[in-house]
Amino acid sequence: MPSSCDSLMEDIEDMVSSSDPTPHERQSARKSIIPRSRKKKELLSDEELQADSLIPGTQKIWMKTWGCSHNNSDGEYMAGQLAASGYKMTDDPTEADVWLLNSCTVKNPAEDHFRNSIKKAQDQEKKVVVAGCVPQAQPRMDYLKGLSIIGVQQIDRVVEVVDEAVKGHSVRLLGQKKDGGRRLGGARLDLPKIRKNPLIEIISINTGCLNACTYCKTKHARGDLASYPIEELVERARQSFQEGVCEIWLTSEDTGAYGRDIGTDLPTLLWRLVEEIPEGAMLRLGMTNPPYILEHLEEMAKILNHPRVYAFLHVPVQSASDSVLMDMKREYCIDDFKRVVDFLKERVPGVTIATDIICGFPGETEEDFQETIDLVKAYRFPSLFINQFYPRPGTPAARMEQVPAHVKKQRTKELSQVFHSYNPYDHKVGERQHVLVTEESFDSQYYVAHNKYYEQVLVPKRVEFKGKMIVVDIYEAGKHFMKGKPVEDSKPFTPSIAMPLQKGEVSGLLQCAWQTRLAAGCMRHFFYTTQSSHKQNRSIRDAHRHGACTKVSISL
């Protein structure tokens, strides 16, 4: 099988027909050619400059991502591939030629923001490419007409889609990745990416789920469960640590269901990943629904107690009423949820359990809602995501009898008041903690660190702390954070085994593909002025997608 570099050369050779002169004939003809000098101003006419400005790969792209960490990971991969192909990613939407909008379909407001952004881009005469769960689930929506779409399992072809959009064409790639009829987890994990935070690697371990929740639109986009093989995930983690990452987030629509489609399970994956984590680096586990974590509680408790794994688990309950849970088709009862939480609290001292609650689901009575209030009062969750119910088009819940809007709003307000009535970190003032510093606070006044329980600790913004494990004394606590003072006689510990990449630097680039693209860049003008076939243009991107060469990192 030819290499990626070979495939480019074959396409170039295909352009030479039998009627073209041979190399010997061209060499002989050269002797009768008299070079003609040209003035510098003749070299590039206005017409040529105008044509060059439309050559794909030379434009600036602004990308906006809404939604979960899985969607953010997809966005990082798309940005990396575009940058590796010559496009310039920009943080300024006004200077961009193309807007790439990566959507979320969980809530109405997120989709509203997405739709408004499309209109804003069109008003400014920007090229628009859309991605994410909204167009995947509903590609025929009126406001998506004429737009290019990248399906959630087609993010490895983002360069092709953007190339065509730049040329004024509309392309829609919405298919599923399959191997021998079996659905795959998605695009390859070793694609180039630009991490939003060079210290944090987000790894999607599977896509889709095994549930059929009546309110969920994401299922329409992500489909049934499809897991990545353990070896591919371990290799991705290994590569990330070699690029200076010190924290890994595992994400999916339901991490607890991982592996059930390929004959393995979540604990097996986690024990393999733990072997790769350097001392001082940390692993954070993503959201898991109660049904699929119940059978792994013993192993999960051992894993969460591991010093390089955050003692943190996000387990959405959605409601404390069994009647509502049944209408939601959540496939568990409230006692199952309590069993998960109680077991982990007993076996993993200090564990943080985060959860989600939907207020005003169709058919929810005052008694149902009171059960939810009582649950929050009893467990005093330190992290609680409260969502007012929004009926999503095409879901069974949208056809159910709705709770009046003012009742939903009142219940959301009441639950929020209960949540804000307690401070989960007051008792930790005076503690000495080891924390890993990975981010900057929104107000840019502090660095953000997390302790073993993934509780947020704000520390002084000193450059020597970024990406380090430090020791702090907790001197203040708020509702969502603590503040820590660094211990004077302690030295920051560096968990990274390599220097982190710079912000905006491309990770996991394929050297052969990069060299191919460089060669392709030199010949873009040749391809377009000779009106080459779509196959010839596409071969450049094929080399990028299918190459298997040495991994390097290149700053663009």
pLDDT of residue 465: 97
Average pLDDT estimate for 428-438: 98
- Separate counts of helices (H) and strands (E) for the chain: 18, 23
List, as one string, the DSSP characters of 121-168.
HHHTT-EEEEEEHHHHH-TT-GGGTT-EEE-TT-GGGHHHHHHHHHTT
Q: What is the mean pLDDT of the chain?
A: 84
More confident residue, 205 or 18: 205
More confident residue, 260 or 545: 260
pLDDT of residue 186: 82
**Backbone torsions φ then ψ of 284, nearest 5 degrees:** -115, 130
Q: Which is nearest to 254 in space by CA: 238, 265, 268?
A: 265
* Token output for 552: 């390097």
372 CA to centre of own chain: 31
pLDDT of residue 53: 53
Tokens 């859309």 — which residue? 130
Cβ neighbours, 10 Å, residue 402: 16
314, pLDDT greater than 50: yes
Tokens 């993503």 — which residue? 286
pLDDT in tens, 518-539: 434 433 333 332 333 333 334 3
Of 3-12, 26-35, 149-158, 319-328, least confident by mean pLDDT is 3-12
pLDDT in tens, 322-364: 999 999 999 999 999 999 999 999 999 999 999 999 999 999 9
Inter-CA distances, 214 with 314, 361, 385, 404, Å: 21, 10, 19, 19
Interstrand relation of 456-460 and 446-450 (parallel, antiparallel or unpaired): antiparallel
pLDDT of residue 180: 75
3-class DSSP state of 552: strand
User: How wide is the angle at C-alpha 450 spanned by C-alphas 447 and 451, nearest 5°?
Assistant: 135
Amino acid 318 reads Q
Question: Is 319 within 8 Å of 360 (Cβ atoms)?
Answer: no
Amino acid 223 reads G
Average pLDDT estimate for 36-49: 45
Question: Is 93 within 8 Å of 99 (Cβ atoms)?
Answer: yes
Amino acid 464 reads E
Q: How far apart (Å, rounded) are the C-alpha atoms in residues 217 and 436?
A: 35
Of 67-71, 227-231, 379-383, least confident by mean pLDDT is 67-71
CA dihedral 536→540→542→543, nearest 10 degrees, is: 130
3-class DSSP state of 504: coil
Q: How far apart (Å, rounded) are the C-alpha atoms in residues 522 and 515?
A: 11
Q: How far apart (Å, rounded) are the C-alpha atoms in residues 481 and 456?
A: 5
pLDDT in tens, 485-501: 999 999 999 999 999 99
pLDDT in tens, 164-199: 999 999 999 988 887 777 777 788 999 999 999 999
20, pLDDT greater than 60: no
Q: How far apart (Å, rounded) are the C-alpha atoms in residues 257 and 185?
A: 13
* Token output for 322: 């069994």
Q: How far apart (Å, rounded) are the C-alpha atoms in residues 482 and 469?
A: 16
Q: Which is nearest to 61 in space by CA: 107, 129, 1, 125?
A: 129
pLDDT of residue 509: 67
pLDDT in tens, 464-479: 999 999 999 999 999 9
pLDDT in tens, 125-168: 999 999 998 889 888 889 999 999 999 989 999 999 999 999 99
Q: What is the DSSP secondary structure assignment for residue 225, as one 8-state letter?
A: -
